């Protein structure tokens, strides 16, 4: 009876279990049936998907999102052609990672965008150790949080690096090797190569002289902060390079979280909790499924006997229902939360755009480095400051408040670390990127603004209606602008209303004038900039300033003044304060003054050989005692900078309140000239400030007068003479400094004159005046100042001549005449620049304060055209930099970069001249009676041009094939393609002769050069040579001297040159010159040739270069020439008067009649002749 009752109970229990088992498995059955369906489909498509995933894992790591998408699309197309099965909507991350793992990575700090997820999967799945390009430090943080306390963190500068890696290998610990550069330590070679050796049952890795038992749990992660490193193939084959650089969409998602957290903290908390809860639920469901399958597979005998299986099934059913319900609720809640979050999207978008403009600045100067962490802190701070106190502000208005405040904060924050020349560039880039994101910048108009009108073939171009004031290059711009639909008709407008357009063109500030006709009301601000870029390139900077002011606000066109006290207030002991130095500026006095005002002690160490230990000691004392430490001239000890970087990173990571925490009053001040080798970490975590010398004559003179004390000013016994000559010296110094702004027309070589030059000459004046009270020794003064002191820096003979002209103007008897007011700019009537008669120190300063705020070109002896020329160069620099910062991507539907290059290649191949037949040339010339030196010149020129033409034809053909994927795309071809896309002549084509022309004009110029040589070959010795056609004009001139010397039976070194001007046009010259040769094709810069008086005269306003008449280069026997009324005018090959070390630009000095002015007048003007101009 008892046995039956026990059996009945047992049977009842089994029935209950069976019921639970059936019900439980029924619930699982539904899910498993769906899973089986999915799995069967996945198994069918597994072959193709695995192939693409393996390729992605192997090759896609270094590339960005767009290129990865293109790669996957091309691979899937290849699978389709081969009829291999694959998933139509294949995504690498979904195929290779479980959603639960991805969610866990997101929780651990991996950004949630697809690009970052792909990077996470590659990092975990790759067979080679991952090397993560991580400029924003996001991968580093993710790895640290993922591996947590087990992780060992080292860098290449760590003393125990190899020991930590050894421990990781033996004990199976993860190791993070951070901050690596482009080269890795050779000692890591066995680890990277996974060079395992089988010894019995052990796997051994030999590291150095040790054999280590290899633990399969060992992991190695490598990160670098370099934004665009170039790793050798050896490194690339041993590590998986992964591009972790944050992308705009990824950053936008992160910053959206920051905005919502600030504005709707409960919402963001709810979103975060929901993500965690759903992730936990899904993970639990997967764990239960795995447990059920394990128990099913391990159960022996009846399933009903396994009580834990039945309980687990019951638990799984409850959990499944619970998770399903939670997921449904979560989806509904997530839709509501995301809709609310999306209201703040505009603020996240704007801040993301601004960050990438900021990050791009690092490509302009290595010192412009900004960390993402600091930027997020600035964003958070901007949101706090943008609050107005008004309650009930809707989301759209709040976003506008945040955007306005944050954009201005970014501008101010960035400007203090930028040089003056880059502040407008940053503001314009910020403005353009913001407007591009709002679809307000049409691509065609922006491309025209950057590149202008590029015309390779002018055969089909409409005729220029106003050639007297519109040159060929400007007409190219207008006709190309006319091809843009929104500007169509502008070329016709010049034909119909050329008088109005000329009046607008010749105005001093066209950007502020109304455009002629109805164009004022037709154009947008960007189209106005395009018109100004086409016609008045010199006004682009001013127009860009107006554009920024109108679209972002006037505060973005006016950089904030430098305020060291305010910058210090933003700092703490964790933020080094870094002065980025300019030549001739020393911020030491400013730091001392601030320390005095803050009642702080500052220890100063000028870095140099042997100062490392002193600097380290001062930093340790400062950290302990709370003093300031100023390390000056860090660029002189770049080898010690890694040690400094490690020191800074160590004390920055110490938590506040710890026993070894730095003193809160400690500050580390650094100064360094720009260097690509300055530590990135210090630049990113520090506050950067630029220090630049004052601009303008008035500011420079005030700076010099502020260096002189009352005691020094009254030291000289010859008080009257001293005061006047001291004023002249300050003016001389300021003129030399400020003249550099005229670029090539200022000095051939830019010189860095500084205060020490002035100080020595100041003392020299006092000594001479006191030693010679009766007769002022001007000759000695002028020599020691202009030749020995300032002239000691001057390397160019013509620059030294200019310095001597200035010193002769300012140091003369008239400057000491008490009866006259000495004018420092003698060619300016009613000049404000005069020497005060006998002013004390305050009086002299007052006289300087009365100088104009902005300096006219005439103050330097220059023509107003010199200002225009330098402004054109500045505009070209700005536009060139904007082009270099543009992403190399295209919009959908527009012409691809490859297509553009292909079209240009074919067009240039059609235009490129054929190579000379040297054998036929020598046969032809051998039969002629031309002078042998001239034949030699022709042979040499033909050889040089053949080298260029063969390079040109070969590279254009290779580039055409390379773009089509038919040959290997070498780095040389890549450089040529990049140059052509930026409308520049590739360096490979510039070795024959120097030129600044863009590709279109350069090709036309090359055709003209070859035609001139071919004409010489076909028709005989030219009656008038086109001098710019020679690659080495000095060789041609030497041949003329040799011919003359042989003809007249004199030694060549007894010959010099005479330069008679011939007013006959080149085509009308019917006879060869009796001696020497007629030469044409020269341009005159800084003056104009008066054809009536046959002498130099003032240039026409806005005519930067004019044609010279034919010059007869006539060899004559050396004789003493009269220099009165003669200007020795230098002749250069092209506008860059310095040239290069390999190819100097200077050719010869030609004597020209100076006209009504003196030779010194034209020297100050920078007047020169050129064989080639830049358009």
* Residues 6+ positions from 784 with CB-CB distance below 8 Å: 761, 764
**992 and 982 Cβ atoms separated by less than 8 Å:** no
Name the strand (E) or helix (H) holding 1130: strand 1126-1132
**111 and 246 Cβ atoms separated by less than 8 Å:** yes
Name the strand (E) or helix (H) holding 688: strand 687-690
Among the listed residues 539, 548, 507, the one whose alpha carbon sits nearest the alpha carbon of residue 876: 539
Instruction: Work out the angle between the directed axes of helices 897-911 and 971-981 (0-180°, nearest 10).
Output: 90
Determine which of 5-14, 336-345, 749-758, 909-918 has the lowest per-residue pLDDT on average: 5-14
C-alpha to C-alpha distances, 255 to 340, 351, 380, 396, nearest whole angstrom: 15, 8, 9, 17
Name the strand (E) or helix (H) holding 1149: strand 1146-1153
Determine which of 242-246, 282-286, 538-542 has the lowest per-residue pLDDT on average: 282-286
Can you give the C-alpha Rg of the chain in angstroms? Answer: 38
SS3 label, residue 995: coil
246, with CB counted inside 10 A (0-12, 13-18, 19+), is: buried
Token reading at 454: 């590029």
Token reading at 826: 């003698």
Instruction: Work out the angle between the directed axes of helices 525-535 and 540-551 (0-180°, nearest 10).
Output: 170
User: Residue 890's pLDDT is what?
Assistant: 46
**120 and 102 Cβ atoms separated by less than 8 Å:** yes
Q: Following DSSP, what letter does each residue of 102-132 receive, concatenated?
A: HHHHHHTT---SHHHHHHHHHHHH-SSEEEE
Q: State the average pLDDT over residues 750-755.
A: 88
Among the listed residues 655, 774, 662, 646, the one whose alpha carbon sits nearest the alpha carbon of residue 718: 774
Token reading at 34: 């769906």
Residue 958 to residue 988: CA distance in whole angstroms: 13
pLDDT in tens, 906-919: 889 999 999 999 99
**383 and 398 Cβ atoms separated by less than 8 Å:** no
SS3 label, residue 1075: coil
Among the listed residues 736, 847, 753, the one whose alpha carbon sits nearest the alpha carbon of residue 802: 736
Among the listed residues 1140, 1128, 1139, the one whose alpha carbon sits nearest the alpha carbon of residue 1172: 1139
Token reading at 551: 């679209």
**156 and 180 Cβ atoms separated by less than 8 Å:** yes
pLDDT in tens, 334-389: 787 778 888 889 999 999 999 999 999 988 998 998 888 889 999 999 998 888 77
pLDDT range class, residue 23, cuts 50, 70, 90: low
pLDDT range class, residue 927, cuts 50, 70, 90: confident
User: Residue 892's pLDDT is what?
Assistant: 40
User: Residue 893's pLDDT is what?
Assistant: 43
972, with CB counted inside 10 A (0-12, 13-18, 19+), is: middle
**133 and 229 Cβ atoms separated by less than 8 Å:** yes
Residue 5 to residue 343: CA distance in whole angstroms: 70
pLDDT range class, residue 891, cuts 50, 70, 90: very low
Residue 354 to residue 433: CA distance in whole angstroms: 8
pLDDT in tens, 469-501: 888 889 999 999 999 998 999 999 988 888 999
Length of the chain: 1175
pLDDT in tens, 945-964: 999 999 999 999 999 999 88
Q: State the average pLDDT over residues 71-86.
A: 91
**1000 and 455 Cβ atoms separated by less than 8 Å:** yes
Residue 512 to residue 510: CA distance in whole angstroms: 5
Number of Cα atoms under 13 Å in the Cβ half of residue 740: 13
Among the listed residues 684, 466, 697, 424, the one whose alpha carbon sits nearest the alpha carbon of residue 574: 684
Given the DSSP bridges, would you call strands 1077-1080 and 687-690 parallel, antiparallel or unpaired?
unpaired
pLDDT range class, residue 21, cuts 50, 70, 90: low
Q: Which residue has the tokens 């705009």?
A: 248
Among the listed residues 616, 625, 628, the one whose alpha carbon sits nearest the alpha carbon of residue 572: 628
The residue ranking higher by pLDDT, 584 or 467, is: 467
Contacts of 753-759 with CB under 8 Å at 24 or more apart are 753/584, 753/790, 753/793, 754/583, 754/584, 755/584, 755/704, 755/707, 757/733, 757/789, 757/790, 757/793, 758/704, 758/707, 758/729, 758/730, 758/733, 759/707
Residue 520 to residue 514: CA distance in whole angstroms: 6
pLDDT in tens, 286-298: 777 777 677 666 6
pLDDT range class, residue 888, cuts 50, 70, 90: low
Terminal-residue alpha carbon distance, the chain: 116
Cα–Cα–Cα angle for 698, 702, 707, rounded to 5 degrees: 155
Q: Following DSSP, what letter does each residue of 200-222 receive, concatenated?
A: TTEEEEEETTEEEEPPTT-EEEE
Q: Which residue has the tokens 């006998």?
A: 838
Q: State the average pLDDT over residues 1065-1091.
A: 94
Given the DSSP bridges, would you call strands 1024-1026 and 1105-1107 parallel, antiparallel or unpaired?
unpaired
Q: Which residue has the tokens 């792909």?
A: 118
Please determine, for residue 534, whether its predicted confidence score (pLDDT) is greater than 90.
yes
C-alpha to C-alpha distances, 772 to 353, 472, 777, 778, 784, nearest whole angstrom: 67, 61, 7, 11, 16
Number of Cα atoms under 13 Å in the Cβ half of residue 721: 20
Residue 476 to residue 455: CA distance in whole angstroms: 6
Contacts of 318-327 with CB under 8 Å at 24 or more apart are 319/281, 319/284, 319/285, 319/288, 320/27, 320/28, 320/31, 320/285, 320/288, 321/27, 322/281, 323/281, 323/282, 323/284, 323/285, 326/277, 326/278, 326/281, 327/278, 327/281, 327/282
Given the DSSP bridges, would you call strands 1095-1097 and 1088-1090 parallel, antiparallel or unpaired?
antiparallel
Nearest 5°: phi and psi at 167? -65, -40
Nearest 5°: phi and psi at 73? -60, -45
User: Residue 737's pLDDT is what?
Assistant: 93
Please determine, for residue 258, whether its predicted confidence score (pLDDT) is greater than 80.
yes
User: Residue 303's pLDDT is what?
Assistant: 57
**552 and 470 Cβ atoms separated by less than 8 Å:** no
Of 329-333, 585-589, 1074-1078, highest mean pLDDT: 1074-1078
Among the listed residues 1092, 1102, 1109, 1091, the one whose alpha carbon sits nearest the alpha carbon of residue 1169: 1109
Q: State the average pLDDT over residues 815-820.
A: 84
C-alpha to C-alpha distances, 22 to 16, 319, 666, nearest whole angstrom: 10, 17, 72
C-alpha to C-alpha distances, 367 to 217, 354, 565, 679, 689, nearest whole angstrom: 40, 18, 22, 9, 10
Please determine, for residue 618, whether its predicted confidence score (pLDDT) is greater than 90.
yes
Among the listed residues 124, 116, 129, the one whose alpha carbon sits nearest the alpha carbon of residue 146: 124
**925 and 935 Cβ atoms separated by less than 8 Å:** yes
Residue 253 to residue 112: CA distance in whole angstroms: 8
C-alpha to C-alpha distances, 894 to 149, 448, 477, nearest whole angstrom: 51, 15, 21
């Amino acid at each position: 009876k008892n046995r039956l009752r026990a059996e009945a109970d047992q049977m009842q229990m089994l029935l209950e279990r069976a019921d639970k088992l059936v019900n439980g498995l029924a619930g699982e059955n539904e899910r498993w049936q769906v899973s089986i369906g999915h799995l069967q489909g996945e198994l069918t498509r597994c072959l193709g998907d695995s192939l693409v995933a393996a390729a992605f894992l192997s090759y896609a790591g270094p590339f960005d999102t767009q290129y990865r998408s293109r790669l996957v699309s091309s691979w899937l197309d290849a699978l389709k052609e081969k009829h291999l099965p694959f998933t139509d909507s294949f995504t690498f991350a979904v195929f290779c990672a479980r959603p639960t793992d991805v969610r866990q990575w997101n929780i651990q700090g991996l950004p949630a965008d697809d690009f970052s997820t792909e990077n996470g999967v590659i990092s975990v799945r790759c067979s080679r150790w991952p090397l993560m390009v991580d400029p924003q430090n996001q991968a580093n943080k993710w790895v640290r949080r993922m591996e947590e306390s087990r992780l060992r963190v080292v860098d290449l500068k760590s003393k125990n690096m190899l020991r930590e890696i050894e421990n990781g290998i033996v004990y199976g610990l993860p190791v993070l090797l951070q901050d690596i550069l482009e080269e890795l330590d050779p000692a890591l070679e066995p680890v990277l190569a996974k060079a395992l050796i089988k010894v019995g049952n052990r796997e051994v890795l030999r590291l150095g002289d040790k054999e280590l038992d290899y633990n399969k749990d060992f992991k190695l992660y490598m990160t670098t902060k370099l934004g665009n490193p170039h790793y050798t193939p050896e490194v690339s084959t041993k590590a998986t390079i992964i591009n972790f650089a944050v992308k705009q969409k990824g950053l936008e998602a992160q910053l959206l979280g920051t905005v919502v957290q600030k504005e709707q903290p409960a919402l963001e908390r709810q979103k975060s909790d929901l993500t965690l809860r759903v992730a936990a639920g899904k993970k639990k469901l997967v764990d239960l499924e795995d447990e059920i399958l394990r128990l099913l597979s391990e159960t022996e005998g009846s399933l009903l006997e396994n009580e834990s299986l039945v309980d687990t099934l019951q638990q799984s059913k409850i959990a499944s229902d619970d998770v399903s319900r939670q997921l449904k609720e979560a989806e509904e809640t997530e839709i509501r939360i995301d809709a609310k979050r999306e209201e703040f999207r505009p603020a996240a978008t704007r801040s993301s755009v601004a960050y990438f403009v900021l990050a791009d600045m690092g490509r302009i100067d290595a010192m412009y480095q900004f960390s993402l962490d600091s930027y997020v802190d600035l964003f958070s701070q901007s949101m706090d400051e943008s609050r107005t106190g008004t309650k009930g502000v809707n989301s759209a208005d709040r976003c506008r408040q945040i955007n306005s405040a944050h954009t201005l904060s970014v501008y101010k924050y960035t400007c203090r670390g930028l040089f003056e020349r880059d502040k407008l560039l940053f503001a314009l880039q910020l403005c353009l990127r913001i407007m591009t994101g709002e679809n307000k910048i049409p691509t065609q108009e922006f491309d025209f603004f950057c590149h202008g009108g590029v015309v390779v073939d002018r055969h089909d171009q409409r005729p220029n209606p106003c050639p007297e004031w519109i040159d060929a290059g400007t007409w190219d711009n207008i006709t190309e602008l006319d091809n843009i639909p929104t500007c169509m008709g502008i070329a016709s407008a010049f034909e119909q209303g050329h008088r109005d357009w000329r009046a607008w063109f010749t105005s001093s500030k066209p950007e502020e004038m109304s455009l002629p006709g109805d164009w004022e009301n037709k154009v947008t601000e960007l189209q106005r900039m395009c018109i100004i870029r086409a016609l008045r390139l010199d006004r682009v900077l001013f127009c860009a300033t107006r554009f920024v002011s109108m679209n972002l606000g006037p505060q973005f066109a006016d950089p904030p003044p430098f305020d060291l006290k305010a910058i210090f207030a933003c700092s703490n002991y964790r933020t080094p304060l870094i002065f980025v130095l300019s030549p001739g500026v020393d911020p030491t006095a400013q730091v001392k003054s601030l320390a005095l005002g803050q009642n702080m002690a500052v220890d100063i160490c000028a870095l140099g050989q042997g100062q490392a230990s002193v600097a380290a000691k001062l930093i340790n004392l400062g950290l302990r005692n709370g003093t300031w430490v100023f390390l000056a001239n860090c660029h002189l000890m770049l080898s010690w900078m890694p040690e400094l970087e490690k020191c800074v990173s160590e004390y920055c990571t110490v938590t506040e309140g710890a026993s070894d925490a730095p003193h809160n009053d400690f500050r580390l001040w650094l100064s360094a000239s720009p260097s690509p080798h300055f530590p990135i970490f210090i630049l990113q975590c520090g506050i950067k400030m630029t220090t630049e010398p004052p601009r303008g004559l008035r500011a420079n003179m005030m700076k010099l007068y502020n260096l002189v004390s009352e005691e020094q000013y009254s030291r000289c016994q010859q008080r009257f003479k001293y005061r006047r000559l001291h004023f002249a010296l300050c003016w001389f110094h300021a003129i030399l400094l400020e003249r550099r702004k005229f670029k090539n027309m200022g000095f051939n070589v830019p010189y860095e004159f500084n205060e020490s030059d002035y100080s020595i000459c100041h003392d020299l004046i006092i000594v001479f005046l006191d030693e010679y009270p009766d007769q002022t020794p001007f000759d000695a003064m002028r020599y020691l100042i202009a030749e020995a002191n300032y002239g000691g820096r001057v390397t160019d003979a013509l620059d030294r001549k200019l310095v001597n002209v200035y010193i002769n103007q300012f140091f003369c008897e008239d400057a000491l005449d008490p009866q006259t007011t000495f004018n420092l700019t003698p060619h300016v009537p009613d000049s404000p620049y005069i020497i005060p008669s006998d002013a004390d120190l305050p009086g002299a300063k007052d006289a300087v304060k009365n100088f104009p705020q902005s300096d006219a070109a005439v103050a330097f002896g220059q023509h107003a055209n010199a200002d225009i020329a330098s402004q054109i160069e500045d505009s070209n620099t700005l536009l060139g930099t904007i082009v270099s910062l543009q992403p190399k991507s295209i919009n959908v539907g527009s012409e691809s970069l490859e297509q553009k290059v292909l079209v240009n290649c074919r067009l240039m191949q059609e235009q490129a001249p054929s190579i000379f037949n040297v054998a036929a040339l020598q046969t032809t010339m051998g039969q002629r009676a031309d002078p042998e030196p001239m034949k030699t010149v022709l042979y040499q020129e033909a050889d040089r041009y053949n080298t260029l033409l063969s390079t040109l034809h070969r590279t254009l053909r290779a580039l055409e094939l390379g773009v089509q994927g038919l040959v290997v795309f070498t780095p040389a071809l890549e450089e040529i393609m990049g140059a052509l896309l930026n409308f520049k002549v590739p360096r490979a084509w510039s070795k024959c002769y120097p030129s600044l022309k863009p590709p279109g004009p350069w090709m036309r110029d090359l055709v003209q050069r070859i035609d001139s040589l071919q004409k010489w070959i076909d028709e005989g010795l030219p009656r008038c040579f086109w001098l710019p056609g020679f690659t080495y004009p000095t060789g041609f001139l030497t041949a003329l001297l040799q011919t003359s010397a042989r003809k007249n039976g004199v030694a060549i070194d007894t010959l010099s040159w005479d330069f008679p001007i011939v007013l006959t046009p080149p085509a009308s010259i019917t006879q060869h010159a009796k001696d020497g040769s007629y030469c044409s094709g020269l341009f005159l810069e800084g003056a104009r040739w008066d054809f009536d008086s046959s002498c130099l005269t003032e240039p026409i306003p806005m005519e930067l270069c004019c044609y010279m008449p034919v010059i007869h280069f006539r060899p004559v026997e050396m004789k003493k020439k009269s220099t009165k009324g003669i200007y020795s005018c230098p002749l250069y090959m092209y506008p860059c008067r310095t040239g290069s070390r390999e190819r100097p630009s200077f050719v010869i000095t030609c004597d020209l009649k100076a006209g009504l002015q003196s030779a010194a007048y034209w020297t100050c003007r920078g007047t020169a002749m050129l064989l080639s101009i830049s358009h």
